[in-house]
Every structure is written in structure tokens, then in C-alpha cells.
Chain A
Amino acid sequence: MKKKNASSGPRKKTSRKSPASRKRSGFWRFLLRAFIIGAVLLAGWMVYLDAVITERFEGRRFEVPSRVYARPLELYDGAGIGAAALERELKLSGFRKGDGARAGSYRRNGGRFVISTRGFRFPDGEEPRRRLKLTVSGDRVRNFAVVSGPASPIVRLEPAQIGGIYPSHKEDRILVRLDDVPALLPATLMVVEDRHFYDHFGIAPLSIGRAMLANLRAGRIVQGGSTLTQQLVKNFFLTRDQTLLRKGNEALMSVLLELHYEKDDILETYLNEVYLGQAGTRSINGLGLASQFYFGESLKDLGVHQIALLVGMIKGPSYYNPRRHPERALTRRNLVISEMEDAGLIDSVQATRARGLPLGVTEKPSYSEDRYPAYIDLVRRHLARDYREEDLRSHGLRIFTTLNPTIQYAAEFAVRDTLPRIGHGEVRKALEAALVVTAKDTGEVVALVGGRDPDYAGFNRALDASRPIGSLIKPFVYLAALSKPEKYTLITPVQDRSFTLEFDDGRLWQPKNYDGKERGLVPLHEALSHSYNLPAVRVGLDVGVDAVKDTLQAFGVSSAISEYPSMLLGAVPMTPVTVAQIYQGLATSGFNTPLRTIREVTDAGGEALSRYNLEVDQVADPAAVHLVQYVMQETMYEGTGKSAYFTVPEELSLAGKTGTTDDGRDSWFAGFSGDLLAVAWVGRDDNGPTSLTGASGALPVWSRFMAQVPQHGFSPVIPDGVSYHWVNDREQAVTDENCDNARRVPFISGSEPERRVSCSGALQRRIQGWFEGLFR
């Protein structure tokens, strides 16, 4: 546009003068006009560039991704964790194996650990730097002591970062303030990249001249004359091509930037902006993040050799990548150290020592972005209830989740390791799985696996696979019944005999047992622990489908529930996460505890924005739930869940329930220990048959998981209004403890049997039992 005006304009207006003078004066006039037009255009262009560069400068300074953290590991005497798991947690939180004296390092000798924490600002206050000593023995922390730093019987490690929510340009950074950066870093930066930073006005013509000369001599580009300001501008626009126009624009913008901002503002922005590497689609920007990414350390803790490496890498972050090209990086680093020495930033002793050190780069970045895709998926869905996506992407929020990396590790292992051993042939290849683990009494989701390959961020079965739950519904059917103690106790005989239901429209329904057998009268507890279908339907129809439906809704089902009697055998589709929610109430004696993945969200400065508190809501009589818990334990000892004890240590008491749908399309297991509740699902994405049952598909995954986690056994406190009695369940009578057929069973007060039988089955008056009750 500029060119066209300059050449076509003058020609029209020079027609009336003599050719020679006309030519001369026309030439000067042309020059003047061209100059004026050029100046106006340039001014316009400058105004435009000024707007672009200030907008970018201001905008970029505040666009920071949100960070997602795992739960912090709590260390105290008695904390349950194995030594290998502790070491893994330390690494995940960016600790380095070392002397244990330097902040962010640990020393391990067998079960003995010395850990130096870096300190962390939690939403509820600062956790200061400390040195800790402890021993891990029998999967528990013992002899815990704070060696230096403020004393405390319990200390939180800094949490591992497990994810980020990035701006659309995928730049990741940790903002640093110039005041917090060790002075040696900007000094080195200037020595290497721009010696006259504090003197120039954005560009340094002398340096450019020098560089051009050098480049001409060499016949190629060997030297750049860019100032830090120019480099910053270049970084803003993310292109590396070096056209003249581009260079001109960069120079103009650099000058403009210098007119608007203080040198220190520009320097601080440079430190936060400079490109220093790539991790997948995420770019590593700024020295704050680069320090974490390459050394796993905070900028303020870096040594001379590390500062030299970072500054040296600016010239070519991928060419000098210390993980991929350690030798190149080392040569470059040592060159920078020499420059530092020559400039007098360090003395020769320091320089020699620094040159002698290894690169000091961690093997892998302490944080990789895609480690827990299924879990982060759930976190994002929970965040979406209260936050806008664009705020999450740019406001640098800190999101404190409930993920327990040790338990997640065990959950992923259980799925990965067990699935290839279940089923046969084509079915085996097609099998998929989901596993949800929550902390029983807090409702915190501590681990989540969404498929057979936990690293793959695809279809999240834990959240989105809605499948009929089969026999997992039975505890709720019997809970509805046991809530009527005048009618049902654990030893009430129920009919295991087939029958046919005829609907109003003439259709017939004839439920069957899984094994096709019928057993006549069986005690209620046995019907549930062995998961017989016929008694479940009979009892369910007796208490009413509505009562079962009400129970499910009270325990947290919000979607529509079928009112057909087939719902009593689990023709109710639910996702694994929903099953975990409703089993929470069974595990906690009738208290519904909403599942949470987020404890707190704070702004970048650490101020709390939202807190998601523990909530409990009593939705069922604890006494009736206690009876159901009893049978869910019996299921593990003598019912459909007993094969768990091939894998799980026998002293770990557990409670659970199998679930199977027609042709093994869905294999479920839901159960709990004293600490954890886990729901496993195994099946095919195409909903095809598998010939698996809950016990042969989901239970091996579930028990493999439980066997790996040190934890407390399930042993519920007897609630108010429940008492245990030795009974003969076939006779529905109290009996003696030492009888062969005696079983100790809980009853809701007033519902215990009135009859008494001897070991031989002879009926007695229940005088002794009455006295027992009196003095209990």
C-alpha cells in the first residue's frame, strides 16, 4: 500500500514544467511527499504496534494456568504407608534422593528416612520448612520426629502437582517476582544475552552492527544482536522466522515497550515469558517453571551451575536440552560459567567447583500432565459446577484435590495386572474395567480408573458407563426389609422357590437363581450372602418396589429408577461412581456422604475461593444398616465373595457384594474395609456377553487392589439398639455358644428370638437368655 501511493501519486501532478527542472523539483517534491506520507503511515503503524504490544504485555503477565494438586501426604506416628510407597510419593512431590539435609531432598536407608521439606503454603496456613526423621516398619510410620524447624506431631508434605488447566495457547509457567529471584540469575542473563540492558532503549544498534559483521564474515548467522527486550517481543508472537519486516516490527515494538514500562517490569516479564522447553503439547515458559521442570527445585534454591545451565539454554532450548543432549548442554553450561567468571559474577574457586558438578537435572520432569486422566476428568466436572472454564484457564487458581497417589497406583496396578488374566480368547481381549475408590468416612474419591489402560484419556467408564447393577441392589432390598424388625430379622426364613409373576398386560416373569437350583426355606442372611435371586424378589415384593426405590434414592440415586419388579434383581443402570455413592451409606452405618474430589480452591495468592466441606446425612437407621453390614461381611467369609481371601490377608476383615447381569455382560463388585470403599466393574464396551460373574470378573480386580493397600479391617461399632445373640438360624431360636450350629447374629432390640434350643435342637424356655438381656 505504501509503495503504490509513493509511485502513482507524483506522476499525475508533474505535467506542466520543463522536462529537466521539472524532473529535479519533481524529484524533491516527490521525496518530501513520500517522506510525509511515509511518516504518517509509520506513525499509524506505530500506534497500531503500540496497541498490540501493550495488550500482549499486559495480558500475558496475568494469564497463568490453574494447578491441580494431589492430597498432601500427612506424616505422623502411626501413619499407614509402606516404605516403597513413601519413596514414590516423595518423588512425585519433586523430592530428590540425596543427603536429606537440603530442602527438597530425602535420604533412605531401608525403612529409615530423613526428609527435608521445602515448605508449602496451604489454604489453611503455611507448612514451614522442616527436616523430618522417621522409620517405616510394618507399613506404618514410627519414631516420627522433627529434627529441625518448628516441632509438630504431624506434618504435611508439599502436594504433588497432578494436572493443570491451561490457556488455549498451552503455555505453562510458574510466575516469579523479580524480588524473589536470586540476583545471580538476572546478572548472568545480562552477561550472556544483553550486557547493556539497563542502558539501551530497546534496541542496541552497535550490537546489531557487530552481529551483522560477524554473520557476514561467517557467511551464516552465528551471532544475534537482539536485546532482552527484543527477545521478549519475539517470544510474544511465537514465530521464529527472521524476515526483515519482522525484524523491523520487533525493533519498533521493543522501543515502544521501553517507552511504556520500567526496565525491571520488562526484565520480570522476560523471566516469566522466555521459552525453555516442551512437554508434549505444553510449552515450558519462564525460569520459574523451567527450574521445577529440569531440576525439581524452586528457583531460589538453585546453585551456580544450575543457573548457568538455564541461562545457557535460552539460546536453543531443544538444541541444548539437558535430558536429550547432556554433552552439548554441559559444554554450553561451562561456557556460561566462564563468562560469569570473566564478568566477575563469581570467583575462580566458585567457577571451578561449578564446572566440576554434573548437570543436576532430574531424570524425568517431576510432573507429567497426563498421568491421571480419568481422575482429572471427574475433578473438571466438579469444578464446572462453580467455575467458568476461561477463569480456570487463565487465573492461576490452585485446586486441592483428594487424589491419593499411593492408592491410585495400587488401583491402576490391580486393573492392569488382573484384566489380562480374566476370561478367555476374544472375550479376554475385549474386556474393559473401571475402579472407583473412596475414603469410607470422608466420601473423598482417592483413586479412579476409567479403563484397562489407565493412562489413556478416552471413554471414562467410571463416570460414563451406565450399566445394570445386578445383585448389587440386594443389600438395599434387604435393608428395606430389615428396617421392619417386627417382620424381618437376619434369621427370618425366606422362600428360595420359583414362582411366576403375571403383569396386567398378560406378560409373565419367572425369575431364576444363578445356579438354577431351589433350596426351599433359607435364613435371610444366607439368602443375601449367597446372593440367591428368588428370595430377594419375594422379600422385595413383600416390602414393596416403592420402599426399595425410596431407599436407593435416600442413598443418593438421582436418576430415574424402574418400577418393574425386575429392578429387585438390579435392572437399574448406574455408573461405577454412582454405585460408590450409594454404597457409602452402607459402609458408614447409614450416613450418606457426598463424594468429593476437591477440598479447596484458592486464587494464585493462596486466598480461599471455595471450600468443599465434609457433609454427612443420616438416611437410614444405623441399626438396620448394621445388620446388612453383618451379611456383607458374611459374604466375604462364606458367601459369593470368599475367593477374595485367596489374595487378601485373612486378618483384613472386609464387607462386600457381588453383582452379575445376564450372560455376564456386567461383572460388579462393591465392598469396603475399615478405611476404603471400592467399586469394580468389568465388562465389554459393546455390552456383549463375557461368561463372567461378579466373583470371577470384578472381584479379582477388587481383591488385588485391596491386597496392596495397608489398611484397617472393617469392624463396625455396634449401634444403639442392637445386640448380638448366639442363635440356631434353622430353628430361629437362641442357643448355646458352644453348639456346632451356633452363630452369633445381631438383632434390633426386641426382635431377637424368644425360643431357645439346646445343641441337639430340643426346645427350652428362654430364662437364661432373658437374664443375659437384663444384665447386658
Chain B
Amino acid sequence: MKMRLMPCVFMTSAMLALAGCAAPGGSIYVPAGGSSRVPVQPSVTPEPEAPAPVWQQEQPDVSAPAPAPVTPPATSPSYRDSGDSLSPAALSLVREADRLLAQGNAPAAITKLERAQRIAPRSPEVYFKLSEAYVISQRLDRAEQFALKGLSMAGNDAGLQRAGWVLLADIRRARGNVAGATEAEAKASAL
């Protein structure tokens, strides 16, 4: 079982290495107080003297004198087409994990990958790597879940989508879920 899964793991690694550099953009980072602030000013210090608005109604009464200036909020829900790309810091942790995986030390690799996941929680690559590490640890249930999680963030990146579905197909087949594997393969080849 392990032998059969290895090629897929390496194939995914190769794809991820490519994909890691390709995806542009990322989540919008908002400093405390918003981006209109003077950048160098220290910020997370709460200012106790700053008045906090208090609302007494289900709907805020805009006509009442509000302590904070009433700015029209953004008008529509936000969504996007792809997850974050890996930052250099997260990428360095993923590379260390790769080295550990190559040495067969999956538990240590998982620790590194979890560290990477904390600082890059919206990068599908990290989840696919975690899936691979669990494949090597023979924890296929977890491997499948991390593959699914990675796919949920792959968005319209065809390379990542394909890598994820191929990985998922192999895991499902190894778990004896032939129908699920075929379905995942169909997804991969439709891309």
C-alpha cells in the first residue's frame, strides 16, 4: 500500500513546488484601526480613554450622535477565486518538512507543517503536504481530510486542483473506496 502511494506523493510534491511560486495575490491584511493610520505608529495598545460607542437598539440609529464617525461600510460580501500563496517563511518550513519526509520522519514533518499552517492557514499547499505526511504515517483517514481541506482552498488554480484530486483518488483507492477514487479521478481529468 505504501509503495503504491509513494509515486503520487512525489508527483504532488513536484506540482506543489511549481504551484507555490505561481499563485499571486492573497488575503487583505488590515492593521488595527485600518490602513488609513500612520503606519509606524504603535497600534495594538488599546487606548482606554477612547470612547466606545454603545448601541441600545437592534439597528443602530444613524441619526443619533455617534461617538465614532459614521463611515459607510463596504457594501457586499467578500469572496475570492484562490487561496493564499506561501510566504517565504512558510515555504521554508514546508521545505524542512520535505526533508524530514524524505528521511521518513513523518511525525517531525507534521510538527513543521502545523507550524507552517499556523502562519499560512489559507494556503492549500500546506494541507496537501499534511495529507502526504499522513499517507506516509499510514493515517489515511486524516490524509483524506487534509486533501479535502486543501481542495476547499485551491479555488480556480487548475494545477493545485489537479494535484489535490489525484492525491485524493489515490488515498481513497488505498482505503478501498473505489467509487470515491473514480469520482476524484474524473474531477482531476476534467481539469
Contact = CB atoms under 8 A, between A and B. Distances in A.
Chain A partners chain B: yes
Taking residues whose C-beta sits less than 8 angstroms from the other chain, chain B's interface range is 35 or more
Contact of B43 (A82, A589, A637, A674): A82
Contact of B76 (A78, A153, A718, A744): A744
B74 A647 contact: no
B172 to A, nearest CB: 13
B57 A696 contact: yes
B52 A704 contact: yes
Given A418-B52, A649-B34, A649-B35, A442 B73 contact: no
A78 B30 contact: no
A700 B55 contact: yes
Given A152-B92, A717-B152, A707 B77 contact: no
B104 interface: no
A455 B140 CA distance: 44
Interface string B142-168: 100110110111111000000000000
A744 to B, nearest CB: 6
B114 A614 contact: yes
Interface string B24-37: 00011111111111
B148 to A, nearest CB: 5
B88 interface: yes
Interface in A608-623: 611, 613-618, 622
B119 interface: yes
B186 interface: no
Contact of B44 (A139, A152, A444): A139
Nearest to B155: A717
B92 A84 contact: no
A124 B112 CA distance: 8
Given A710-B32, A718-B155, A653 B74 contact: yes
B58 to A, nearest CB: 5
Nearest to A699: B55
B176 interface: no
Contacts of A614: 114, 117, 130
B78 A78 contact: no
Contacts of A626: 79
Contacts of A80: 29
A129 to B, nearest CB: 19
Interface stretch (A6-14, A628-636, A762-770): A628-636
Interface stretch (B4-12, B13-21, B63-71): B63-71
Interface stretch (A166-174, A343-351, A638-646): A638-646
Interface in A52-100: 74, 76-85, 87
A81 B31 CA distance: 9
Interface string B41-64: 011111010001111111110000
B2 interface: no
Contacts of B110: 613
Contacts of A514: 58
Nearest to B33: A649
A440 interface: yes
B49 to A, nearest CB: 10
Nearest to B66: A646
A718 B187 CA distance: 17
A645 B92 contact: no
A410 B30 contact: no
A417 B149 contact: no
B117 A650 contact: no
Contacts of A651: 28, 30, 34-35, 74
A637 B121 contact: no
B28 A715 contact: yes
Interface residues of A, number: 99
Contacts of A646: 53, 55, 60, 66-68, 70
A726 to B, nearest CB: 11
A442 B117 contact: yes
B111 interface: yes
Contacts of A615: 142, 145
A426 B44 CA distance: 32
A514 B145 CA distance: 40
B40 interface: yes
Contact of A711 (B29, B73, B108): B29
A714 B74 CA distance: 13
A695 B108 CA distance: 45
Contacts of B35: 138, 649, 651
B82 A637 contact: no
A287 B137 CA distance: 44
A634 B76 CA distance: 7
Given A140-B29, A439-B118, A616-B146, A640 B46 contact: no
A119 interface: no
Contact of A618 (B32, B68, B148): B148
Nearest to A722: B79
B119 A74 contact: yes
A629 to B, nearest CB: 8
A717 B43 contact: no
A487 interface: no
B73 A637 contact: yes
A187 interface: no
B55 A707 contact: no
A712 interface: yes
B3 interface: no
Interface string A690-715: 00010110011000100111111111
Interface in B88-118: 88-89, 92-93, 107-108, 110-112, 114-115, 117-118
A360 interface: no
Given A78-B87, A421-B52, A696 B79 contact: no
A718 B53 contact: no
Contact of A653 (B28, B31, B112, B153): B28
Contact of A708 (B39, B44, B145): B44
A551 to B, nearest CB: 18
Contacts of A622: 152
B129 interface: no
A715 B30 contact: no
Contact of B46 (A410, A637, A695): A410
B157 to A, nearest CB: 10
A74 B54 CA distance: 36
Task: Name the residue in B79, B121, B151 with the highest tally of chain A Cβ atoms < 10 Å from its Cβ.
Answer: B79
B111 A139 contact: no
Contacts of A78: 87, 89
Contacts of A87: 42
Given A84-B42, A124-B111, A634-B77, A710 B60 contact: no
Given A152-B92, A647-B52, A649-B33, A710 B43 contact: yes
A720 interface: yes
A82 B45 contact: yes
B45 A84 contact: yes
B80 A718 contact: yes
A422 interface: yes
A735 to B, nearest CB: 15
Contact of B151 (A675, A720, A724): A720
A114 B152 CA distance: 40
A356 B112 CA distance: 47
Contacts of A110: 40
14 contacts: A74-B115, A82-B32, A139-B43, A417-B52, A442-B118, A442-B121, A647-B52, A649-B30, A695-B58, A696-B55, A708-B46, A710-B30, A713-B27, A713-B29
The 8 A-B pairs at the shortest CB distance, nearest first, are namely A649-B34, A633-B77, A76-B89, A441-B121, A139-B31, A82-B44, A85-B44, A84-B42
Given A695-B55, A709-B32, 8 more contacts: A85-B44, A615-B142, A618-B148, A636-B73, A642-B59, A647-B52, A715-B27, A718-B79
Interface of A: 74, 76-85, 87, 110-111, 123-124, 136-140, 152-154, 406, 409-410, 413-414, 417-418, 421-422, 439-442, 444, 514-515, 588-591, 599, 611, 613-618, 622, 626, 629-630, 633-634, 636-637, 640, 642-643, 645-647, 649-653, 655, 658, 674-675, 693, 695-696, 699-700, 704, 707-720, 724, 743-744, 746
